[in-house]
Structures are given as structure tokens and as C-alpha cells.
Amino acid sequence: MTEFQNDQELLALFKDPSTKERAFTDIIKKYQEKLYWHIRRMVITHEDADDVLQNMFIKVWKGLESFREDSQLYTWLYRIATNESLTFLSQQKKRSSISLSDDENGLANKLKSDTQFDANKLEWKLQLAIQSLPEKQRVVFNLRYYDEMPYEEMSHVLETSEGALKASYHHAAKKIENYILNN
């Protein structure tokens, strides 16, 4: 694994026109996989995840100039990725509102059309269970379960209190366990 410079250094390099592109490349490389997986778990298919990821980085390019360093780059990127994914899902929901009654169904269908999908396998049941959660709970669950994000950082990403996030996560985990056991 490549060692990346810390975020402060990368931001300083980004502000210098001569090193701007190099710094940006490093920021992408440093966070691309984490953000990709965060987005992928939200939008399900690779094509959609690729779209959202590229578009979010283009927005990052524009917004990074005015990025205030009182917040962390890492949580800021997660916030953009989350917002972009949710916006993408709501746009998709609008477009397909005639054929699909709700987006949960749409996402579950997307899961089921994955070539690897196997309804008998627990890991796929887990994915279906996650899609059955309300949107916000789903984000909280993913950030804690997969990204192992501390509640304190998550509270910056989602602009919600730590207590509420913790309650939301516990609720989600129990619901998911029940779903897996009963399906």
C-alpha cells in the first residue's frame, strides 16, 4: 500500500497551482476505495457507483479551494459521497416512480440482479436486510459496520448527535439480525 501524505500537506499542495493536480491525484488515490465502497453499498451497482464517485470528485475539485480546514478532509469527503449517493437515489426514484413503488424495492431488485446473487447465502441476505432499512439508518449502519467510523466523526459527516447515531445504529443492527433470522 502506498503511503500518502497527511491531509494538511495535501491541501497545502492543492492550493499551489504547480502542485495542484498532483495533490488532487493523491487525494483521489488515498480515499478512492473507501469512498467507492461507501457509495457502492448505497447505490448497489458498479456503474452507478462509478458515476457517483467521479461526479463527487469533480465537485471536490471545485469545492476544495474553499474548503475550510476547521473540518476534516476525510469527514468532508464522506459527507459529499453520502449526499451525492442520496441525491442519485432520489433522482433515480423520481425517474422510475411509475415502475417502482419505492426505492427500497428498486435497490433490492438491483441486488437480486447481481450475477453473484444467491438468496441462500447469508451475506446476500445481509445486503437485502440493509436495503430494508430506512435511508438514514442505512447510512449510519454502513458507516459504522463497514467503515468502522467512530460516532464522533460520523456526527460530522451526518450532522447528527452522537447519541442519536448510536441509538440509530443499535436499532439498525437489531433489525438486520431479525431480518436475517426470519428470512
Partner 1 sequence: MENKSTKISEELNEIAPFLAKMERVNVFQVPTDYFSYLKEKILTQIFIEQDEKNNLQKVPEGYFDSLSDQILSKIKMQKNESASEEIKSLSPALHYLKEEQTFTVPENYFDNLSERILDRINNRRTKVVSISSVQKWQKYAAAAVVAGVIAISALLTINHKSSNNEVASKNVPGYVKEASQYQTAEELNEGISSLSDDDIVNYLQSTGNILDEETITKNLDAKDLPTPDEYLIDENALNNFLKKTSDESDKNIQ
Q: Using CB under 8 A, list all residues that contact partner 1.
A: 21, 24-25, 28-29, 32-33, 36, 40-41, 44, 46, 50, 53-54, 57-59, 61-62, 114, 116, 121-124, 126-127, 144-146, 148-151, 169-170, 173-174, 176-177, 180-181
Q: Give least dist CB 57 to partner 1, A.
A: 5
**How many other β-carbons are positioned within 10 Å of the β-carbon of residue 160?**
16
Q: For partner 1, which is the closer residue by CB, 33 or 70?
A: 33
Q: Give least dist CB 40 to partner 1, A.
A: 6
C-alpha angle 138/183/97, rounded to 5°? 50
Q: Give least dist CB 1 to partner 1, A.
A: 12
Residue type, 154: M
Q: Give the span between the Cα atoms of 154 and 133, in whole angstroms.
A: 18
Q: Can you say whether the dihedral through the CA atoms of 109, 111, 112, 114 is positive or negative?
A: positive
